[in-house]
Structure 1
Amino acid sequence: MRIGKGLSLALCEAIEESNIFIVVFSENYASSTWCLDELVEIMERTHKNSKQVVYPVFYHVDPSDIRKIRNSFEKHMTAHENEIGKESQRIQAWRSALFEAASLPGMHIPTG
């Protein structure tokens, strides 16, 4: 997979065929446009297929920091906004997917 390219057809098909998604959120998760695009695809697919389940793991991040785009998530999202525009559809999709996924029950592994 090349940096800067969209999700491949193979990855989109794999997402469509999967039943369980384990999304591991870390401090640098939002730095990756690839991870953010993949999260959007996962969240959109789970709306279409009630058999698909998303299970978030919050690794040394607080779910509320993701929902409210604070701390490292704010830093990375601001960088993306400066690059592609704060009001872009892609940014809005990322924000929505982050909020939705961070609102799901999952496992929280706190710092320490």
Structure 2
Amino acid sequence: MGSVVHVLLLILLALRALSTAAGLGGSRPTSNPPPPPPWRHHVFISHRGPDGRRNFTDHLDSALRRGKRVRVFRDDVDLRRGENITEAISRAIEESMLSVVVLSRGYASSEYCLDELVKIMKCRNSEKGHQPFPVFYKVSPDDDVADPASSGIYKADFDRHKRMYSYERVNGWIHALRSISHISGWVIDDHT
């Protein structure tokens, strides 16, 4: 639980800093109402469900939602029935101030998770300034995530992906994983 608290505090500080930088925090001296925030969600949580449910991801999600001041989007909780999953998740990422990417042992086995990560990294480089925060949950940023197609626990997943998907799509996933491995995040090895 200590890891969740540490990550939660840093995320809340980042939200405050991003809101202030965007002019959304504090009072305004003019009588004009403030512009609507460009974000519908504060935090998008990218995770592979079976790896984090009833564990780190559930604790983090619960802690963020507790005060009802942080709007969280998590696919297994917030997708509405009948929505196109791919479109809804893409829109939710675009409409989020930041993403917490929980890179777990099974993350790279899911093409949906990898597609989310590609979208998150594209939004990071957009004019909105979307900020990803990686959580390396029982994986190594250097050995597993930085070179997923050549070594580490993601290698077998990428061997399979190379047989099933186009070179461009797989290469995009590899590039996104390499990019996020270079962002300072949290390495969590405990049983939080």
TM-score band, normalised by the shorter chain? 0.7 to 0.9
1:100 to partner: Cα distance = 0.3
Residue 77 (structure 1) aligns with: 158
Residue 66 (structure 1) aligns with: 145
Q: Classify the secondary structure of the residue corresponding to 1:51.
A: coil
TM-score by length of 2: 0.51
Residue 19 (structure 1) aligns with: 97
Change (3 A) 1:62 1:111: farther
Q: Which amino acid aligns with 1:90?
A: R
Residue 35 (structure 1) aligns with: 113
1:33 to partner: Cα distance = 0.3
The superposition leaves residues 26-56 of structure 1 with CA deviations (integer Å, 9 ceiling, x where unpaired) of 1111000000001001101111135311000
Residue 107 (structure 1) aligns with: 186
State how far apart, in whole Å, the 1-side matches of 2:106 and 2:133 are: 19
What is the number of residues matched between the two proteins? 106
Q: Which structure shows the higher helix fraction?
A: 1
Q: Which amino acid aligns with 2:133?
A: Y
Residue 56 (structure 1) aligns with: 134
State how far apart, in whole Å, the 1-side matches of 2:121 and 2:155 are: 21
State how far apart, in whole Å, the 1-side matches of 2:89 and 2:139 are: 26
Change (3 A) 1:91 1:15: same
Higher relative contact order (CA 8 A, sep 6+): 1
Q: Which amino acid aligns with 1:35?
A: C
Aligned 1:87-102 pairs, distance under 5 A: 88-102=167-181
Contact 1:61–1:111 at 8 Å: present in 2 too? no
Change (3 A) 1:94 1:7: farther
Residue 9 (structure 1) aligns with: 87
State how far apart, in whole Å, the 1-side matches of 2:183 and 2:177 are: 10
Q: Classify the secondary structure of the residue corresponding to 1:71.
A: coil
Runs (5+) with no aligned partner, structure 2? 1-78
Residue 68 (structure 2) aligns with: none
Segments ≥4 residues shifted beyond 3 Å: none
